[in-house]
Structure 1
Amino acid sequence: MYAFLLATAVSGTAAAQAYQPDFDPGKLKGPARGPANEVMVLGSPHLSYFPKTFDPATLRGLEDRLAAWKPDMISIEALSGAQCDHVRRYPGRYKDTIETYCWDPAPARAATGLDVPAATAQAEEMLASWPANPSASQRRRLAALFLAGGERASATVQWLRLPEAERRAGDGLDDKLVEMLNKLKDRRDESILIAARLAARLGHEQVYAMDDHTADRMVADEAGWGAAIKKAWDNPAANKRRAAGKAVQEKLGTPEDVLAAYRVYNSPEEMRLAHQGDWGAALEELSPQRFGRQYVGYWETRNLRMAGNIRDAMTPRPGSRMLVVVGASHKGYLEAYLHQMHDVRVVDTAPMLK
């Protein structure tokens, strides 16, 4: 009897591994008529880790290439104000997430008298009837609403679209918020220095925060978890990837150097090394708690929800172009998941970065 059950289990496992679903959404593209949705995923290093000698002006060559592609929308690796408002209701699960990823909009709430839901609703109402040539007062008001709604990058877009003489307090912005926006526009963050600046240059009114951390959990055995994942990361592929990243960051003096760096971060080799050195290694991690597989589950869920957020942002504008500015480790996953969407064509970054 035991032998029969064992044979049945082995047979069932083999069948599960061999089965390939017949239905493949990625092969069923549409529509037959009309423009398709296009998505370009730009894998980026996190600029906050760049050396202090890095000059943000060297990003302008990359910005010119991205502007020439003419995206209609730009999404960024940031939590939306709405998601941060949600996770704050569950501090037992999301304490670390709140502290790490969620800016507290209390200063903007004090200046406007609006909480996140109310500010978000008012911002959406303004944008629904947004004039072709908004006044400086309207832009300041929208910037204040974005801040109160927890959308700092979108507030920065409005700030950058204002003439310098109009970047002042008023219409919901007090002196504290003005000081904050003046610092934000120069923050070492690809969501600002690439995405927000490009959005302002192209005449966009906002960027779309598409990151998702609802798969985060507090880990009971943090020391055990950390030790297991660190051990999994100690492998040749991870070491090779770190060395390549270090070499790239040591040479960033010109716009061409920056383009060369982005060619590395968006190459197929980068994603292969990322998988081999990170999630592929974690899958084989041997702790009794299977910490590595828990980590992979979190990572896959996060990227699936990010892809869903990107798709959702495009839904009201069929036939649009979306640029996604995201950490390079996410690029391969987002491209693969977005490719499964019927009405999405993933665009290769290689020609743009040449």
Structure 2
Amino acid sequence: MYPFKTGSFAVHNGWYVAAFTDEIGEQLLARTILNKPVVMYRKDDGTAVAIGGRCPHRHFPLGQGERVGDEVVCGYHGIAFGPDGRCTRIPTQRGVPAVYRVPSYPLVEHGIWAFIWMGDADKADPALLPDLDDIGFNVNGNLAQPFFVEHVDGRYQLLNDNLLDLSHLAVLHRSSIGTPENASTPETIERSERQISCHRVMSNVDVPPVYPALGRMMKKIDRISGMTFHLPGFHAGIEQTRYPADDPRFAGQVIEDVRIFHAVTPETANSCNYFFAANSIDQSHLETMKNFLEPVIAEDKMATEEIEKMLRLVGENPDELLLKSDHNAVTARRMLQRLMDEERGGDPEAALPAKPSPADS
């Protein structure tokens, strides 16, 4: 499945954001994750749990049932399941067959996110979660706030590709947060086993269009913009601006220092959920950010969904004329493909996604 090789969809042995923590409460929260129905809720002691969302009797969605104590009761025939997935009660009979159960999934609350592990539960390693200090979640005493949960009618890797190539800010977001330097400034790139980081340091550049709208009247700024991708679906960004070094009054003074958090979670082969959050030391600034970033997120969603429509039109595995700016996206695809191959016991060197074309030179 584009952009991966045939038979590959998504990494299962990895942490995905299933919800913001404040979405999970006493009521059942139903989502589809990696083609599997999931129901999340909090037990009486406040612990968040996740179990399979399909009743094995007649396949009724458990998310349309109800929570009774620590159990989920199917809304069709009243069959009850505990937080470990085991069936506890069948109203029409006394005994409960041992095979009557739904899956349970490791669910970890980490920062403002609830991360789920959809693969082999024995391999669910909390050490693979993004480090909250490394991603800037705790920087300068900043406050983190969930902004949006968007359902996107496009395959998840299209949105990952979008976040791995921030040169699109110069065009897709040129009326808000982007300037030409988002594309023309060279990137600094670092890579580890499960991360890719890229940063642009832009000096004495024009302010983005949103600045005057926010009442910031300076004309030039120094700007650091970047993103770190934590496989398989979490992106931590930085946006820092300062007065330029030649400013006669405020040289080098910080104007803004925020962290932006994106989580992309596969739903089906052709859809995903997109979780967007940010942090800032100023709560009122967060509200302002939320308002002006809403149309920016809508543009990314639009681009993803339009590409998905095109893929349905032209068919799977279209040829790509890749560019130098595709380096991070292609690298991430290859890293994800390797993880998928390892899960299936396949040859990680076989049929990897395309390398950059001659246009890369």
Structure 2 length-normalised TM = 0.22
Structure number with higher strand proportion = 2
The structure showing larger relative contact order (alpha-carbon pairs under 8 Å, at least 6 residues apart) is 1
